[in-house]
């Protein structure tokens, strides 16, 4: 087996860099030195290559579906949706007609009561000023689905952008306000009117930001779960808001079980509606509509909306229309589009091999839980019970979702509206019904995975189970390193990170930890928090150790556990897998595969946005931050103790 056949990309390795000094530079330097980020992306690397390949495949499916004669209901529907999305002439001709009903509702705002009615009218159409309502598994009883209301209504990536001055936040605010102003002008306002309109919208967003919870606070589920019920909203927190009208308009008039993220926020918003001038409220609401709908309108709107992607992601050019339309179909008809993807890319045994990997990594976690010195017996037992209850969904749903709404080839905005209504109704229909563990939150072609703590479930879409992450003919060490550690072990460890560890195996928010063990866990978590808080994303902007703690714990645990899983798997084989692959041992391949799954060049703009608002660390630290904590790495790479990648002290949790 050659190195290339093993699944490692030889050209991405930089052999001039000592792996014991900087493993990311060793594994990915050959890539990052030569890679150029395409103008229409904010980053370029392994994930983007798989995404691009998937997008091109889906494009061919959709082009075929859009051009063929009627007959197949699945292909007809996705073909019509794609055709309407690609019909720029018709979209241009429609002008602002698609948002006219929303603007008309806002034009009626003259006091708090009419403002509330406008908020309701917008939310029914999927636009979310101030807050948004959706189904939520009750944290206290995970068998029940209740209504959850959460803060919403900001246009910048995080509340920090309104309140702080770190890095380029001030410049970003300026860019944002100028962009708001140009959007108002596109709507027909003259400059002297657009300027104060933008200022109003920004002022209201800034007030909301001041009241909203930050993402670190929100990592503790206790902080975002408050069963105030309908009565609490109506009688105590925000009596001036017409909650009955709101729930009726959403089609859930009898719902009474409601949790809100933070009770005082709703009091503040209701007060704002009564105290703000109606003109200012109209400006904020119009801005919210424009911000959320611009991509469904003509070219001038799409171009203007791109301003913020340029600013926050460092993109230089708008992605081509076809790519944006592929993603629209994936968003709105994902399980129809996904059927073609699965048939072509995930046939013959992909699922069985992935399931085998899942079971190996679970087995390693079982053993590890028994071996952990900092856990007392009772907590260990509870942890084992939780692990045993983790469900996993692999590849694609067993039953495809049906999309019961009509799609036409001539009305893109109409299709989007129909899809939005259908999805809102589908989501809200879950309230009061038994939990459906098989409802996928990602579509099959998605190059990602997730863990859901209320369902205690990991979901691995087919889109991620592809080369260079996963391959039938790859060296097993490569599949274990990349998919086993980076994905399966990562998602499984989320069940035991700072957030997931607060839920039990049934998805209930219950403290199953003994006091002492909990303290040890907190101490170990703090080690990871401090470690990553010292890393820089871009000069002068460091990572937020608390914001990224859960993802970093998952990365560290995933890679450690899948390594143990690989060793156990190897022991059980009658014939050991090959162990000299062009000078690399199989254990070295394991770490190389994990690192190469994160080979990526990221624009400085996107790196900074990630540091401020993303719970994931940038690629360089997802590799080196993990490697320095791996007990197996030093031995596999013969790194002397005390070298940068094999330090004397390391953080260890799972």
Binding site for Zn ion (CB under 5 A): 551, 554
Minimum distance from residue 191 beta carbon to Zn ion (Å): 45
The kind and range of the H/E element at 65 are helix 46-67
**Which residue blocks in 501-603 are alpha helix, DSSP H?**
515-533, 549-572, 586-597
Backbone dihedral region for residue 95 (phi beyond 0: left; psi -120 to 50: alpha; all else: beta): left
Closer residue to Zn ion (CB): 329 or 554:
554
The sign one gets for the Cα dihedral 514, 516, 519, 524 is negative
Nearer to Zn ion, 233 or 492 (CB): 492
Angle between helix axes 263-275 and 191-211 (nearest 10 degrees) is 150
Q: Supply the minimum distance, in Å, between the C-beta of residue 331 and Zn ion.
A: 21
CB of 558 to Zn ion, least distance (A): 9
**Cβ 493 to Zn ion shortest distance, Å:** 9
Q: How far apart are CA 561 and CA 52, in angstroms?
A: 30
Min dist. Cβ of residue 490 to Zn ion (A)? 6
Pairing of the two strands 457-461 and 391-395: parallel
* CB of 497 vs Zn ion, minimal distance in Å: 8
Whichever of 168 and 620 has its CB closer to Zn ion, that residue is 620
Residue with Cβ nearer Zn ion (127 or 553): 553
**CA diameter of the chain:** 79
Rg of the chain, C-alpha, whole Å = 25
Residue 328, C-beta contacts closer than 8 angstroms, at least 6 positions apart? 81, 85, 416
CB of 366 to Zn ion, least distance (A): 21
Where helices occur in 68-111 by DSSP H, the ranges are 73-86, 88-94, 100-107
Report how far residue 569's alpha carbon sits from residue 586's, in angstroms, rounded to the nearest whole number. 13
Nearer to Zn ion, 551 or 586 (CB): 551
Residue among 265 and 470 whose Cβ is closer to Zn ion:
470
CA 213 → CA 159, 217, 264, distances in Å? 8, 6, 11
| Closest CB 523 distance from Zn ion, rounded Å | 22
CB of 494 to Zn ion, least distance (A): 6
Q: Name the DSSP letter for residue 484.
A: I
* Cβ proximity to Zn ion, 492 vs 554, nearer residue: 554
What would the DSSP string read from start to end of 129-164?
A: SSEEEEEEE-SS-TT-EEEEEEE---SSSSTHHHH-
Q: Which is nearer to Zn ion, 409 or 494 (CB)?
A: 494
Measure Cα distances from 389 to 27, 368, 503, 511 in Å.
36, 17, 12, 17
* CA contacts within 13 A on the Cβ side of 108: 15
**Rounded least distance, CB 551 to Zn ion, Å:** 5
Q: Shortest approach of Zn ion to residue 407 CB, angstroms?
A: 34
Identify whether 419 is preceded by a cis peptide bond (ω within 30 of 0): no
**What contacts 522, CB < 8 A, 6 or more positions away?**
none
- Residue 44 CB neighbours (<10 A): 20
For Zn ion, the closer of residues 332 and 491 by Cβ is: 491
Q: Which residues contact 446 (CB under 8 A, 6 or more apart)?
A: 330, 461, 463, 464
Cβ neighbours around 499 below 10 Å, total: 19
Nearest to 629 by CA among 485, 502, 520, 498: 485
Minimum gap (Å) between residue 354 Cβ and Zn ion: 17
User: The tokens 């209930």 sit on which residue?
Assistant: 508
What is the smallest separation between the CB atom of 554 and Zn ion, expressed in angstroms? 5
Q: Which is nearer to Zn ion, 158 or 551 (CB)?
A: 551
Q: Whose Cβ is closer to Zn ion: residue 549's or residue 554's?
A: 554
Q: 445 or 500: whose CB is closer to Zn ion?
A: 500
Kindly state the tokens that stand for 452.
């859901």
C-beta closer to Zn ion: residue 326 or 553: 553
């Amino acid at each position: 087996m050659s190195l290339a056949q093993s699944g490692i990309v030889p050209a991405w390795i930089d052999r001039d860099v000592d792996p014991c000094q900087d493993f990311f530079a060793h594994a990915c330097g050959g890539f990052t030195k030569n890679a150029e980020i395409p103008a229409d992306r904010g980053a370029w690397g392994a994930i983007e290559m798989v995404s691009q390949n998937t997008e091109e495949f889906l494009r061919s499916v959709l082009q075929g579906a859009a051009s063929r004669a009627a007959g197949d209901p699945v292909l007809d529907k996705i073909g019509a949706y794609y055709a309407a999305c690609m019909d720029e002439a018709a979209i241009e001709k429609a002008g602002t007609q698609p948002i006219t009903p929303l603007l008309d509702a806002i034009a009626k705002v003259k006091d708090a009561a009419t403002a509330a009615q406008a908020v309701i009218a917008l939310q029914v159409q999927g636009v979310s000023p101030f807050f948004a309502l959706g189904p939520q598994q009750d944290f206290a009883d995970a068998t029940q689905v209740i209504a959850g209301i959460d803060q919403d209504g900001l246009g910048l990536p995080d509340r920090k952008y309104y309140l702080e001055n770190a890095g380029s936040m001030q410049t970003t605010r300026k860019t944002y306000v100028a962009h708001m102003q140009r959007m108002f002008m596109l709507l027909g306002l003259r400059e002297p009117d657009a300027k104060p309109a933008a200022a109003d919208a920004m002022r209201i967003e800034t007030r909301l930001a001041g009241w909203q919870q930050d993402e670190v606070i929100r990592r503790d589920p206790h902080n975002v779960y408050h069963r105030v019920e309908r009565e609490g909203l109506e009688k105590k927190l925000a009596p001036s808001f017409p909650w009955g009208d709101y729930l009726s308009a959403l089609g859930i008039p009898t719902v009474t079980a409601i949790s809100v993220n933070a009770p005082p926020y709703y009091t503040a918003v209701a007060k704002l509606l009564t105290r703000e001038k109606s003109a200012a409220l109209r400006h904020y609401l119009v801005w919210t509509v424009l911000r959320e709908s611009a991509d469904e309108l003509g070219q001038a709107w799409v171009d203007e909306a791109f301003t913020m992607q340029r600013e926050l992601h460092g993109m230089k050019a708008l992605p081509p229309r076809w790519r944006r339309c592929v993603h629209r179909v994936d968003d709105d008809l994902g399980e129809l589009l996904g059927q073609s993807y699965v048939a072509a890319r995930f046939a013959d045994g992909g699922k069985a091999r992935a399931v085998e990997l899942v079971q190996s990594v679970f087995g390693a976690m079982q053993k590890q839980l028994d071996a952990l010195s900092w856990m007392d017996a009772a907590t260990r037992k509870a942890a084992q019970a939780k692990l045993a209850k983790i469900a996993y969904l692999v590849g694609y749903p067993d039953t495809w979702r049906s999309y019961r709404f009509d799609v036409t080839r001539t009305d893109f905005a109409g299709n989007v509206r129909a899809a939005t209504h259908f999805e809102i109704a589908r989501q809200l229909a879950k309230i009061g019904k038994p939990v459906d563990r098989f409802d996928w939150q990602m579509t099959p072609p998605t190059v990602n995975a997730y863990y859901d703590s209320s369902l205690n479930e990991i979901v691995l879409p087919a889109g991620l189970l592809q080369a260079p992450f996963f391959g039938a003919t790859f060296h097993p060490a490569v599949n274990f390193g990349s998919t086993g550690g980076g994905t399966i072990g990562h998602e499984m460890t989320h069940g035991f990170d700072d957030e997931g560890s607060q839920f039990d195996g049934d998805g209930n928010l219950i403290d199953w930890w003994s006091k002492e063990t909990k303290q040890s866990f907190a101490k170990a978590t703090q080690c990871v928090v401090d470690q990553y808080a010292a890393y820089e994303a871009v000069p002068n902007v460091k990572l937020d150790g608390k914001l990224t703690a859960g993802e970093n714990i998952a990365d560290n645990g995933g890679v450690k556990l899948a390594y143990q899983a690989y060793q156990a798997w190897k022991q059980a084989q009658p014939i050991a897998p090959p162990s000299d692959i062009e000078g690399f041992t199989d254990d070295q391949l394991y770490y190389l595969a994990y690192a190469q799954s994160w080979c990526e060049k990221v624009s400085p703009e996107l790196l900074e946005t990630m540091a401020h608002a993303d719970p994931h660390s940038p690629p360089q630290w997802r590799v080196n931050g993990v490697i320095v904590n791996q007990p197996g790495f030093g031995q596999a790479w013969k790194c002397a103790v005390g070298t940068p990648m094999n330090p004397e002290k390391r953080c260890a949790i799972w």
